[in-house]
Chains A and B, each alone.
Chain A
Amino acid sequence: MMAKRVGMEVSVAIGEAAKMANVDVVAAYPITPQTHIVEHLAELVADGELDAEYIPVESEHSAMSACLGSSAAGARTFTATAGQGLELMHEVLYVASSMRLPIVMTVANRALSAPLSVWGDHSDAMAVRDTGWIQLFTENGQEVVDNVLCAFRIAEDQRVLLPVMVHLDGFHLSHMIEPILLPEVEAVKRFIPPLKYPFPLDPLKPVSMGDFGPPFIYSEAKWAQEVKLREAKDVVVECWQEFGKQFQRHYSPVEEYRSEGADVLLLTMGSYSETAAAAIDKVRAEGKNIGLVRLRLWRPFPFAELRQKVSQARVLIVLDRALSIGGPVGPVCSEIRSALYGQAKQPKVVSIVGGLGGRDISVAGFEAIISRGIKVAEKGSRNEFEIFGVRE
């Protein structure tokens, strides 16, 4: 059987991807805009199409806690959440990564209350950036499916053993019906070898996990985690290369669109990158030397790749879909500035925040962001960062 192209809601396709990965346990709590993912998985389990334990927990805190247990028992574990749900999981996220449990989770990115918003932005993702999870951003349904499959292989690699979050924009991706190539199950099986967690919970071979870490050992434990997360970058890249070989779709930590030799670069993360690319086509057609850079690997942060791809530009405009309220600039821009600080050659980095709480940015919107960004780079601004589209 060949891979087949189907028209499918992206959330449903994620459920299908988890099924192809043959997950053992799904512990999840429904929350907009992620609900359809776990709803579909619940159906697959109930209909006997997926041989897995589906644990309908009472909250996201419990969802991630149940995932800890099942992953520690050596079971392939999947969950999904969004926005407030991810916030409710917060403390348990740290435990998952510190205990080196290879859980895979999709996050249908959603704004945080208040005011209550079920719509998409990256506030939830930014709030969990320091939780020690590997984090990937995706732009369309195909990328989500592909990266969910990659996420299992990366997480469970013996050199990694860390949880992976796959971010997809709430509604803009989660609720879209898109043409998606679903790979052949056998090919997926070959791509994701069986999970061999080195110390599964076993009464015959007892171990203690998540132990008490007094001052004499806490720093060593955290440093071990830091080193492993940084080293995971090579495995992520290797996994994407292998995926490219087997499935002919290619991913890398920092991706470009018509950016080579560009004087001005726009940097985006997530599904808005596709609209941004359309804007780049327009300004390129007008003869302007402007390109796009998309950050796919958010954690571990790809310092070398980013520096290599942006340092020759004169201006770098970074679009953030989240605020760091009272802080320096947008959170992504803040990290990019930090990554470029002290480099011999670096662009002027301009921070623009937009697309909050599900507000669209059109092609014309991106054109306006580009011109505003260039103006700020050349003439300066009274503001630390610009916010796009706010009515004064």
Chain B
Amino acid sequence: MPKKGENELTWRDLEIGGIVTEPGNASQYQTGDWRSQKPTYDFDRCIKCGLCQLFCPEGCVEPNSDGHFEADLYYCKGCGICARECWTKVITMVEEEG
């Protein structure tokens, strides 16, 4: 498939039956734009236990450069499970603007 933005692809660009010949390209799929709330962090409270990473159904939480766990907003769907499960109440969900 040619490299085009998802809204530029025409029907002629698709392989037969919409077959995807490039493995692993689901990682390009931006699920972050489904989000109505996003996680915000008070890292002073973070004990780096990684529970939020274990619970994240999207698998989009990774330690940042300081070792604090943080969601990748390109994929985070804003479900809020991390905020609910966090022992030390690092995470607060806030409404997305706009």
Residues of chain A having any CB pair with chain B under 8 Å: 98-101, 161, 198-199, 206-211, 213, 216-217, 220-221, 223-224, 227-228
From B7, B9, B11, B20, contact of A227 by CB (8 A): B11
Cα of A227 to Cα of B6 in the assembled complex, Å: 21
A221 partner residues in chain B, CB cutoff 8 A: 11, 14, 18
The closest CB in chain B to the CB of A208 belongs to B20
A216 partner residues in chain B, CB cutoff 8 A: 6-7, 9
From A101, A199, A220, contact of B9 by CB (8 A): A220
Instruction: Please state if B10 and A220 are interface contacts (CB–CB under 8 Å).
Output: yes
A161 partner residues in chain B, CB cutoff 8 A: 16-17
Instruction: Please state if B18 and A199 are interface contacts (CB–CB under 8 Å).
Output: no
Could you show 19 A-B contacts with beta carbons less than 8 Å apart? A98-B17, A98-B18, A101-B17, A198-B16, A199-B15, A199-B21, A208-B23, A210-B18, A211-B19, A213-B18, A216-B6, A220-B9, A220-B10, A220-B14, A221-B14, A221-B18, A223-B11, A224-B18, A228-B16
Cα of A63 to Cα of B18 in the assembled complex, Å: 23
B15 partner residues in chain A, CB cutoff 8 A: 199
A211 partner residues in chain B, CB cutoff 8 A: 18-20
The closest CB in chain A to the CB of B5 belongs to A216
The closest CB in chain B to the CB of A96 belongs to B17
The closest CB in chain A to the CB of B7 belongs to A216
A206 partner residues in chain B, CB cutoff 8 A: 23
The closest CB in chain B to the CB of A228 belongs to B16
- Interface size band for B: 10 to 19
B16 partner residues in chain A, CB cutoff 8 A: 100, 161, 198-199, 228
Distance to closest chain B CB from A355 (angstroms): 37
Cα of A101 to Cα of B11 in the assembled complex, Å: 18
Cα of A211 to Cα of B10 in the assembled complex, Å: 17
Q: SS class of chain A's interface: helix, strand, loop or mixed? A: loop
Q: Which of A98, A99, A198, A224 has the most CB of B within 10 A?
A: A224
B20 partner residues in chain A, CB cutoff 8 A: 207-209, 211
Instruction: Please state if B23 and A220 are interface contacts (CB–CB under 8 Å).
Output: no
CB of B3 closer than 8 Å to a CB of A: no
Known contacts being A216-B6, A217-B6, is A207 close to B11, with CB within 8 Å?
no
Distance to closest chain A CB from B42 (angstroms): 35
Instruction: Please state if B9 and A217 are interface contacts (CB–CB under 8 Å).
Output: yes
Q: Which of B6, B16, B18, B23 has the most CB of A within 10 A?
A: B18
Apart from A98-B17, A99-B17, A220-B14, what 5 extra A-B contacts exist at CB < 8 Å? Answer: A206-B23, A211-B19, A220-B9, A221-B18, A224-B11
Instruction: Please state if A100 and B17 are interface contacts (CB–CB under 8 Å).
Output: yes
The 7 residue pairs across chains A and B that have the minimum distance between CB atoms: A100-B17, A220-B11, A208-B20, A224-B11, A99-B17, A223-B11, A100-B16
Distance to closest chain A CB from B22 (angstroms): 9
Cα of A284 to Cα of B11 in the assembled complex, Å: 51
B18 partner residues in chain A, CB cutoff 8 A: 98-99, 210-211, 213, 217, 221, 224
A209 partner residues in chain B, CB cutoff 8 A: 17, 19-20
Distance to closest chain B CB from A215 (angstroms): 10
B17 partner residues in chain A, CB cutoff 8 A: 98-101, 161, 209-210
Cα of A378 to Cα of B19 in the assembled complex, Å: 54
From B7, B11, B19, contact of A199 by CB (8 A): B19
The closest CB in chain B to the CB of A161 belongs to B16
Cα of A224 to Cα of B18 in the assembled complex, Å: 9
The closest CB in chain A to the CB of B12 belongs to A224
Cα of A213 to Cα of B10 in the assembled complex, Å: 14
A228 partner residues in chain B, CB cutoff 8 A: 16
Known contacts being A216-B6, A216-B7, A217-B6, is A207 close to B21, with CB within 8 Å?
yes
Q: Which of A207, A210, A223, A227 has the most CB of B within 10 A?
A: A207
The closest CB in chain B to the CB of A97 belongs to B17
B residues 7-66 in Cβ contact with A at 8 Å: 7, 9-21, 23
Cα of A161 to Cα of B10 in the assembled complex, Å: 20
Instruction: Please state if B19 and A207 are interface contacts (CB–CB under 8 Å).
Output: yes
A207 partner residues in chain B, CB cutoff 8 A: 19-21
Cα of A360 to Cα of B28 in the assembled complex, Å: 59
Distance to closest chain B CB from A229 (angstroms): 12
Cα of A216 to Cα of B33 in the assembled complex, Å: 13
The closest CB in chain B to the CB of A209 belongs to B19
A208 partner residues in chain B, CB cutoff 8 A: 19-20, 23
